[in-house]
Structure 1
Amino acid sequence: MKMNNKLGKIIAYKKSFLIGFLSVMFLYACVPTKAIKEEDRSMPEQYENQSSDSLNTAATVKWRDFFSDPYLVSLIDSALVNNQELNIMLQRVSMAQNEIKVRKGEYLPFVNFYGGAEVEKVGEYTRNGAVEEGLNIREDENFPDPLPNYTFGLSASWELDVWKKLRNAKKSAVYEYLASVEGKNFMVTNLVSEIADSYYELLALDNQLVIIDQNLELQKNALTMVDLQKQAARATALAVKKFEAEVLKNKSHRYEIKQQIVEVENKINFLLGKSPTPIQRSTDDFINKTLDTIYTGVPSQLLQNRTDIRQAELELASAKLNIKVAKANFYPSIGIKAGIGLEAFNPRYLNAAPESLLYSVVGDVVGPLINRNAIKAEYKNANSRQIQAVYEYEKSILNAFVEVSNQVSNINNLKMSYDLKKGQVNALTESIDVAMLLFQSARADYMEVLLTQRDALESKIELVETKKDQMLAQVNMYRALGGGWN
């Protein structure tokens, strides 16, 4: 009868264990799974109105070789050392690198040492007190009261990464670090481009100032001539006042340009991380600067050359791993804890082995069973972040292609516009002398002279602006293709 009861208990125990085990397995079999969204990397075979060219030399050219102006090279070199935003980004890169060490340490065993001393006095009319009262350590030595305790030893803990949660988290941190490096490179590209843009804008303003000064000389000479003709009764006071107003207008415009020069200089100084100071530059022969041909290559090369695309790609890879990390939270974690040391109530007994030796080994399995809403929410967020990263990656590819396409068209149109405006400037410059001769021979009135000078000035200013736009287009194309960071 007793055997039957014992056998029945064993069977009931095994049934309970089996039911519990199957219940737990059923719960983990119901772990949610969402499909990972794949990115679209397709791009056109070539840019519009461009022949296929597999040599993308512009993106691989170092910025020191791309820019030939020594003053500009010096400014860029200084900015790459002293720019505050770039230095802030470098610290972010350093922190991302440290995060790798943090993640790596999580899946390695932790070993600690410990030591302690304590004293405890318990009441005699308690279980511990009664036991201590009746104990003798030696025949002639009673149990100490109060009771001290001294310990010294080592402890270790290790979470077994059977689901690769910790390793995937470390790999994700590696991708985040690499993405931060590419982000730094993208910032360098933009910084180089911004300094070059501001430098060429400064050269253009200098040339506009020279043109206004030259035009003021012409207008002052014309004013003198009109004033002499008024004294000879060959011109009216109205003509004199018109020319005076034009001279004053251009003098006023001259101060406006000088203010713009100060602001652009201060912008460059800010990018260089220093207080306002004059910027050294070479303004000679700006209008005749030659433009080198930039080879665009094929659009697919942008995937490798553009640092912002590579950054988005690495962030996408990190987001995919974070999904695995979030999913692993549904599974139980397996840990091992162990310790070894010495413990005694008197320090002189610490070396008395094996009496003072203590050790322990514990293995445990802990997993979520009920109320897993927080884990589910984090898993869904990880999936949403991965989808977001896909769209960010696709957007960066599309943005890069659009930027290059815009600059290809911009360079071509600016070239045509510059050639036409150069012809316009030549024609209007010659017309000034013709208008003056006709005015002196009374075959043209003063308004024709005035308008001719005004049109010539505006055309020269526009020519300088177009040359500046051409220089900026070259820089923007270099940046759009992925150059400037190396």
Structure 2
Amino acid sequence: MKNKRMLTIKRIRLYGLALIAVVAVYSCVPSKTLLEENSDVPERYQNQLEDSLNSASIQWKDFFSDPHLSALIDTALIKNQELNIMLQQVEMAKNEIRTRKGEYLPSVNIQAGAEVEKVGAYTRNGAVEEHLEIREGEEFPEPLSNFMVGAYASWEVDVWKKLRNSKKAAVFEYLSSIEGKNFMVTNLVSELAASYYELVALDSRLAIIEQNLAIQTNALAMVKLQKTAARATELAVRRFEAEVLKNKSQKYEIQQQVVETENKINFLIGRSPQHIVRDSNGFIEWTVGEVMAGMPYQLLQNRPDIRQAEYELAAAKLDVKVAKANFYPSLGIKAGVGLEAFKPKFLTSTPQSLLYNVVGDVVAPFINRNAIKAAYANANARQIQSVYEYEKAILNAYMEVVNQLSNIDNLNRSYELKVGQVQALTESIDISIRLFQSARADYMEVLLTQRDALESSEELVETKKDQMLAKVGVYRALGGGWDR
């Protein structure tokens, strides 16, 4: 009775020491305050009226009405290599969820085995076998066989939600990868549209050069006639010839740019170099159309990069909790049940062949806490980094929209002025030629007038191209194009 009481007292002391140890572990766990993110945005864009209509909600098929461009985008969304690579990353992130989910579920394994053992006579087991043979009068099996079949399970009890938080972090990483894919789609649609407009603009520049070459060729023939009539000099002829050759040379430069732009589009849609079907007629008269900016807060829902940063931040917060949980003791349970005998025919003889075990253990870090502290500090640093990445994404998105809206307004004003400039210079070509024919202007005035008219026409095409690129830019900045 006294021994039993002493044993009870020892157990109480042991439990008390264990409790003190757990409390000590808790008290030594460091704690850091998480940095909270700031997702505030201005109420409206600069110099813009408050309007909830947003072009980002328009699908790209409706926003880009050109059928040739729509066909190119459709192909790119299926065959673009970078997008397909990103889709595989999304799939890997999805598989990571399944991996982490399995970590907090019991692990069950089935095992079967057979072995043969021969021990030395002068060992403990050998002496026991010899003693049994003498006592029982039967020869002990030599070598000794052993057959076993059973199931074993192990389970880490997720007391501190470490495994569940790790799984939730994987979910957020998966959602982040989806938004990364959406952001890539937005950029792919925008880059393809921009390249298409650049290609059409190059076609328009080629058409303008062809028109000017026809005018300059006629002017050259006129100057040659004037020289024959002794009303012009060889210098004038040479200057006009040089201008014609200059524009022919520029024509080949633009043709090379056309080839490179076509191949850029072919690369984006994942196919070998070939002609890009397009309709470049009337590019100068193409309308930009109205772009509706909506409200700044809509960027938080429409911009995939902001949503991606938001999910990354959520995952980083959970990673901090997981890192902190590593300081706490982990509770593990192991169990097994099976059949074991030295002959196969005895495996079904129960309960003699039955074996089972149940083990529970608590493991707490004690000595090597520096590595856990370092991992916890890194998790906190990544969380702070994610906060700044999230805030930077919001600020960058707002700035991009403001810049593109301002760009559209200024380009519209510039385009109106350039239209008048081109019209004036185009009319001045005929005037200069008539004045030259009547000896009231020299050849340099004709030459410079033609040159200025060509440059202003090309500038008008560039301005129209910039308008179309600004339309694409504001659509991308608002977060449009990823929702098919």
What range is the shorter-chain TM-score in? over 0.9
Q: Measure, in 2, the Cα distance between the counterparts of 1:382 and 1:336.
A: 29
SS of aligned partner of 1:142: coil
Tell me the amino acid that sits aligned with residue 76 of structure 1.
I
Residue by residue, what CA displacement relative to the aligned partner does 1:190-234 show, whole Å, maximum 9, x if unpaired?
000000000000000000000001000000000000000100001
1:194 equivalent in alignment to 2:191: yes
1:219 equivalent in alignment to 2:216: yes
1:230 to 206, 227, 230: 227
Identity %: 68
Tell me the amino acid that sits aligned with residue 108 of structure 1.
L
SS of aligned partner of 1:170: helix
The alpha-carbon distance between structure 1 residues 394 and 17, as it changes in their structure 2 partners (threshold 3 A), is: same
Q: Measure, in 2, the Cα distance between the counterparts of 1:387 and 1:464.
A: 47
Q: Measure, in 1, the Cα distance between the counterparts of 2:426 and 2:77.
A: 43
1:135 equivalent in alignment to 2:138: no
1:457 equivalent in alignment to 2:454: yes
Q: Measure, in 2, the Cα distance between the counterparts of 1:7 and 1:71.
A: 92
Q: Measure, in 2, the Cα distance between the counterparts of 1:198 and 1:411.
A: 18
Partners of 1:243 and 1:450 within 8 A in 2: yes
SS of aligned partner of 1:21: helix
| Alignment of structure 1 residues 176-187 onto 2, 5 Å | 176-187=173-184
| Alignment of structure 1 residues 49-448 onto 2, 5 Å | 49-56=47-54, 58-135=55-132, 142-448=139-445
Partners of 1:425 and 1:459 within 8 A in 2: yes
Q: Measure, in 1, the Cα distance between the counterparts of 2:437 and 2:452.
A: 20
SS of aligned partner of 1:174: helix
State the 1:128 CA deviation: 1.0
State the 1:125 CA deviation: 2.4
Q: Measure, in 1, the Cα distance between the counterparts of 2:53 and 2:63.
A: 16
Partners of 2:25 and 2:328 within 8 A in 1: no
Tell me the amino acid that sits aligned with residue 365 of structure 2.
P
The alpha-carbon distance between structure 1 residues 7 and 112, as it changes in their structure 2 partners (threshold 3 A), is: closer
Q: Measure, in 2, the Cα distance between the counterparts of 1:11 and 1:138.
A: 43
State the 1:16 CA deviation: 6.1
Q: Measure, in 1, the Cα distance between the counterparts of 2:66 and 2:11.
A: 87
Tell me the amino acid that sits aligned with residue 42 of structure 1.
D
Residue by residue, what CA displacement relative to the aligned partner does 1:162-186 show, whole Å, maximum 9, x if unpaired?
1000000000000000000000000
Q: Measure, in 1, the Cα distance between the counterparts of 2:186 and 2:6.
A: 78
2:23 to 25, 46, 67: 25
Partners of 2:25 and 2:327 within 8 A in 1: no
Taking only aligned residues, the RMSD between alpha carbons, in angstroms, comes to: 1.8
Match of 1:480 in 2: 477
1:42 to 40, 46, 50: 40
Q: Measure, in 1, the Cα distance between the counterparts of 2:10 and 2:112.
A: 46
Q: Measure, in 2, the Cα distance between the counterparts of 1:8 and 1:320.
A: 49
Q: Measure, in 2, the Cα distance between the counterparts of 1:248 and 1:9.
A: 110
Partners of 1:137 and 1:143 within 8 A in 2: no
State the 1:139 CA deviation: 7.1
SS of aligned partner of 1:287: helix
Q: Measure, in 1, the Cα distance between the counterparts of 2:6 and 2:101.
A: 50
Runs of 4+ displaced beyond 3 Å: 5-17, 136-142
Tell me the amino acid that sits aligned with residue 67 of structure 2.
P
Partners of 1:24 and 1:369 within 8 A in 2: no
The alpha-carbon distance between structure 1 residues 354 and 16, as it changes in their structure 2 partners (threshold 3 A), is: closer
The alpha-carbon distance between structure 1 residues 114 and 19, as it changes in their structure 2 partners (threshold 3 A), is: closer
SS of aligned partner of 2:357: strand
Tell me the amino acid that sits aligned with residue 179 of structure 2.
E
* Structure 2: 5+ residue stretches without partners: none
SS of aligned partner of 1:135: helix
Tell me the amino acid that sits aligned with residue 475 of structure 2.
Y
State the 1:142 CA deviation: 3.3
SS of aligned partner of 1:111: strand
* Structure 1: 5+ residue stretches without partners: none
